[in-house]
Amino acid sequence: MINKNKSLTVVANWKMNNDFNSSLDLVIKIFSYCNMIKSVEKIICPPLVNIIPLYDQFKNSSFSLGAQNINENKNGPYTGETSVNMLKNYISHAIVGHSERRAGFHENNYNIKLKTQALLDENIVPIVCIGESIEIYERKKSIDFLNVQIREIFSEINTTNEIIIAYEPIWSIGNKNPADPKYVEMIISKSKDYISSIKNLKDAKLKMLYGGSVNSKNILSYTNQKNIDGVLVGSASLNASEFGKMILKISSNE
Ligand code: PEP
């Protein structure tokens, strides 16, 4: 049953797809489908190089612009990296700790904690990804594993700001193996309980999303769960009509 009191969030993670022209084309098409929908929080995270050139399109839209990653340092000898300072005038949100960055770029909970803090320091909303591997899931150790991720990232963070956590089981990412909505609801509800036991986060505004093979056919099965506050979408967000349909569906709940 839909919880009519919750406001839903949809995050698009375009990953390393789309040059500037195709990003612009996709933005224009997505806006034409659902820019008029104000009841859903909509955040698009294009590749970093396209953020500043797309900024003017977003400025007068109902969409927010986010980054897919940031460096935790303010400036310095970090070749190839981009700091929050450099992006803070253009973005309102940033994803940190995506499993692809943990696996491919050796990021760990410690780096992710620093990135989260760097974003909060500049009033950018962090979208912090957590999630277990298939081995942990099959051993039924998901809750223990996620609690460690949450503790290592958040136990020293003291904030009243908004924080978004995206629960993305690694085995469900890639548009082929969506997790069971009841399982996701159980995990998110237990994770929220665990987070509420972390004293310094007690006044933070927390939302928890699900990410992993969400599309227009299955989106409502997640957003209609009591504790799931929205979704993070990879593959399906690269198709304007599919992504537009997802937003329309959750705004009308049909
Ligand atoms: C992701 O990688 O964050 C993701 C949710 O991807 P997909 O929707 O393709 O599973």
Instruction: Write out the H or E segment, with its range, that includes residue 27.
Output: helix 20-34
Note the maximum CA span of the chain.
51
**Who lines ligand 1 at CB under 6 A?**
13, 168, 173-175, 211-214, 232-236
Q: Determine the pLDDT at residue 106.
A: 92
Q: Which atom of ligand 1 is nearest to the CA of 15?
A: 2
The continuous run of DSSP H or E covering 21 comes out as helix 20-34
Residues 169, 155: Cα–Cα separation, whole Å: 22
Of 41, 72, 107, 168, the active-site residue reads: 168
Q: Give the torsion through C-alpha atoms of 58, 59, 62, 63, to 10 deg.
A: 40
Residue 235 CA, closest ligand 1 atom number? 9
**Residue 176 pLDDT:** 84
Q: DSSP readout, 169-236?
A: -GGG-SSS-PPPHHHHHHHHHHHHHHHHT-GGGTTSEEEEEEESS--TTTHHHHHTSSS--EEEESGG
Q: What are phi and psi of 187, to 5 degrees?
A: -65, -45
Single out the catalytic residue among 98, 100, 107, 132.
Answer: 98
Structure tokens at 252: 């009308």
Query: Thinking of the domain 9-252, which architecture would CATH place it in?
Result: Alpha-Beta Barrel (3.20)
Residue nearest to atom 4 of ligand 1 (CA): 234
Question: Which atom of ligand 1 is nearest to 100's Cα?
Answer: 2
Kind and range of the H or E run holding 160:
none
**Residue 168: active-site member:** yes
SS3 71: strand
pTM metric for this prediction? 0.96
Q: Whose CA is nearest to atom 3 of ligand 1?
A: 234
CA of 44 from ligand 1 middle (Å) equals 13
Residues in the chain: 254
Q: Given this model, what pLDDT does residue 4 score?
A: 54
Report which ligand 1 atom has the smallest distance to the Cα of 231: 5
Provide the pLDDT for residue 3: 47
122 is known as an active-site residue: no
Distance between Cα 77 and ligand 1 center (Å): 32
Q: What is the pLDDT of residues 31-83, one digit of tens each?
A: 999 999 999 999 999 999 999 999 999 999 999 999 999 999 999 999 999 99
Distance of CA 224 to the CA centre of its chain: 18
Strands 230-233 vs 125-130: parallel, antiparallel or unpaired: unpaired
Residue ranges of the domains in the chain? Answer: 9-252
Residue stretches of the chain with pLDDT short of 50: 1-3
